[in-house]
């Protein structure tokens, strides 16, 4: 886990946070900063990143932005209906609805732990590559994160001095057991997602609207959820909710941090011009990862190499 990754996790309750500093550090797609100070923060044991935190190498995210097409409704709010499923492939709705169809037909698997494997590439103060494997018990009571930084292996076990529970289950601490309780009807799920994100957004105070829109935060939160092991029916519903977020844009060509070419769905992360993108395999519509970049040129990206349920820590799907 990297400092940039930690910054993308749920913010703890802090007194009088500096919104400008918070905005500066949200270069991960999910961008709900843990701490306005860039120092390494305590670990949060909710499902890891997708926290989007996920910007791509400046050269890698070279997303052929020509012909970005929008495919979303103009209005916002939790009661907005999902788009018609007959949208063309070269649109946000077309891509996300096909991804939803593939997701809901995928096997759910079984096991007591969720597993995710990611490759993260940072282009901040130099280029860094981090390979991460994470196991978290479905009820959130146990977990292990293993990082490989150029052959240097670090492990962080839940319950150690460097980790702590992430609070009660929620969209910000999404244990797998909790995710199974969420509605899979897109309209009901949309209402729940917008309600939880609205509460977090309101904590920023009156100045939040200058830096972010609610839709930007919803995109970040959905991205963070999709980067983890998610029940198939819920994953499908999340894609359908994502298709209703105003401001989504279709990206015809984008490369993830593992070098895989795909198509993307992009959205602004804040009012400063930082942007994130969900990347899909153009043939299977499986999520390859998430990337994004900051207006000052810094980039970071996560490639989702594997995810699923396993019986024990150390096992892979």
Q: Is residue 130 part of a domain?
A: yes
Residues 136 and 125 sit within 8 Å (Cβ to Cβ): no
Range of the domain at 68: 3-310
Is residue 317 in a domain? Answer: no
For the segment 116-139, the average pLDDT, to the nearest whole number, is: 92
Domain count, the chain: 1
Over residues 58-71, mean pLDDT: 31
CA 196 – CA 193 distance, rounded (Å) = 5
Q: What percent of the chain has pLDDT over 70?
A: 69
Higher-pLDDT residue of 219 and 297 is: 219
In a domain, 316, yes or no: no
The answer as to whether 218 is a domain residue is yes
Q: Which residue has the tokens 């282009």?
A: 123
Report how far residue 202's alpha carbon sits from residue 217's, in angstroms, rounded to the nearest whole number: 11
Q: Identify the pLDDT of residue 206.
A: 86
- Taking only the tens place, the pLDDT of each residue in 237-277 is 999 999 999 999 999 999 899 999 999 999 999 898 889 99
The tokens 């020509």 sit on which residue? 66
Task: Tell whether 261 is covered by a domain.
Answer: yes
Q: Is residue 277 part of a domain?
A: yes
- Decide if 315 is inside a domain: no
Among the listed residues 283, 281, 249, the one whose alpha carbon sits nearest the alpha carbon of residue 268:
249
């Amino acid at each position: 886990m990297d400092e940039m990754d930690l910054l993308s996790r749920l913010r703890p309750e802090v007194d009088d946070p500096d919104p400008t500093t918070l905005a500066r550090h949200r270069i991960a797609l999910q961008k709900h900063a843990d701490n306005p100070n860039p120092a390494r923060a305590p670990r949060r044991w909710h499902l890891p990143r997708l926290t989007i935190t996920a910007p791509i190498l400046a050269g890698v995210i070279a997303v052929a932005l020509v012909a970005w097409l929008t495919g979303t409704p103009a209005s916002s709010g939790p009661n907005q209906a999902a788009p018609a499923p007959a949208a063309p492939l070269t649109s946000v709705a077309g891509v996300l609805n096909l991804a939803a169809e593939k997701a809901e037909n995928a096997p759910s698997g079984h096991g007591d732990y969720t597993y995710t494997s990611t490759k993260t590439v940072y282009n901040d103060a130099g280029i860094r590559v981090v390979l991460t494997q994470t196991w978290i018990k479905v009820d959130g009571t146990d977990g292990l994160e293993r990082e490989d930084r150029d052959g240097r292996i670090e492990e962080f076990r839940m319950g150690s001095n460097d980790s702590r529970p992430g609070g009660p289950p929620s969209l910000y601490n999404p244990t797998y057991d909790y995710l199974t309780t969420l509605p899979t009807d897109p309209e009901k799920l949309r209402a729940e997602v917008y309600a939880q994100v609205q509460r977090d957004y309101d904590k920023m105070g009156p100045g939040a609207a200058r830096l972010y829109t609610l839709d930007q935060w919803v995109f970040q939160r959905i991205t963070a959820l999709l980067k983890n092991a998610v029940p198939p029916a819920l994953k499908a519903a999340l894609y359908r909710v994502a298709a209703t977020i105003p401001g989504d844009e279709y990206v015809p060509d984008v490369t993830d941090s593992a070098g895989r070419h795909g198509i993307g769905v992009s959205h602004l992360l804040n009012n400063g011009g930082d942007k994130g993108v969900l990347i899909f395999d153009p043939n299977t519509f499986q999520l390859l990862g998430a990337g994004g970049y900051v207006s000052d040129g810094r980039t970071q990206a996560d490639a989702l190499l594997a995810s699923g349920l396993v019986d024990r820590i150390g096992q892979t799907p």
